[in-house]
Amino acid sequence: MEEAKGFIEGAWILVAVECLWRIRQCDPIATSQRSGASTFWPSFLFVGAYVLCIGTVWLELKKFEYFKAEKTLLRSLLKFLHACDGLVALFLGLSIYYQNMTLMSAMIVAMTKFFLLHLLSRMVTGVTAYTPMDISLQTTKTFLHHLGSFFFISDPTVSLITGFWRFVSMNGHAAMTVQKSISLETYRSIMWKISHARNLCVSLILLAMFFSPSIRRGFALSAAGHVSYMIVRLGPIFRLGGGGGSVYMSEEDNALWKSYTDGHRLAELSKGKHPWLSLELSLLFILCVVLLFLRVTTYGEMDSDDCTVN
């Protein structure tokens, strides 16, 4: 839990610093009163959704039998929405592209599972939490995993790229929901393909930023959100040996990997073991470093002339 807490705190500090800087640079209320100012402010939707997600944790719904039961209409609906995460992410990107608050609100409700994310946190994070505080931490991690990439986006092209990227990566959630209904070989084959598709997406984003100044600037201004997602993503991949049940190693090797300390894991990777795992970790780390560097170099820039905070 301490390891998870460190990643979560790092991710939220990054998001908080970006938010505070934007608020300091711009008064969103005054902006809304200016003629022609944009009224598309996704930040309010994200903040409201997070508050509601944490609020449902402290209601301690799991004390009620209906919320503890596995075979209920609610659980079936939550798992269905979890399976649709990739499609929801794609439409979330489109909602930012078209600046449609109604569509975006609907997609955020779907992505947060009616603000009941904590009921699925173990499926996403691989960690079981018991106290409200620990559950809140895991819910924060799950929230960033699902929505962090969409924070601060204003560039239309970046919204489409991010929507497609998260569509590809979140298709693994659909496979996870049917894992017990298919053979282990089929499941691992699906997750193997998704893992490589995810790595390809990250590689293409790096190339796009290198060749296109507008895409580079768009990702720079929304870097804090993307990096917050990747920070909480890096931890489980490194600790568990990959996403989706560790498709990069055998079950025996994975059990041994989980017993290692972080230092031992790094030593194993430095010896050239598990190259596919090293590739995914390296790509995410490189993208994080590049985005943070770009954000530093664009310090002082806002998203638009009317100083819209989003």
> H helices of the chain, where?
2-25, 28-32, 42-58, 65-68, 73-83, 85-97, 101-111, 121-125, 132-147, 156-177, 184-211, 213-221, 223-240, 251-259, 262-270, 275-297
Is residue 28 in some structural domain?
no
This prediction's pTM: 0.87
- Looking at the structure of the chain, the number of domains it has is 1
Is residue 305 in some structural domain?
no
Q: Can you give the residue range of the structural domain that contains 261?
A: 2-22+40-297
Summarised one tens digit per residue, pLDDT across range 210-244 is 999 999 999 999 999 999 999 888 888 888 877 65
Separation CA 7–CA 287 (nearest Å): 17
Is residue 30 in some structural domain?
no
pLDDT along the chain (310 residues), means of 10: 54 80 65 50 87 90 72 85 94 94 95 89 61 85 91 92 95 86 86 92 96 95 92 85 72 84 89 90 95 88 51
CA 63 distance to own-chain centroid: 28
Separation CA 229–CA 231 (nearest Å): 6
Is residue 29 in some structural domain?
no
Is residue 49 in some structural domain?
yes
Q: What is the pLDDT of residue 36?
A: 45
Separation CA 54–CA 116 (nearest Å): 9
Q: What is the pLDDT of residue 233?
A: 87
Is residue 34 in some structural domain?
no
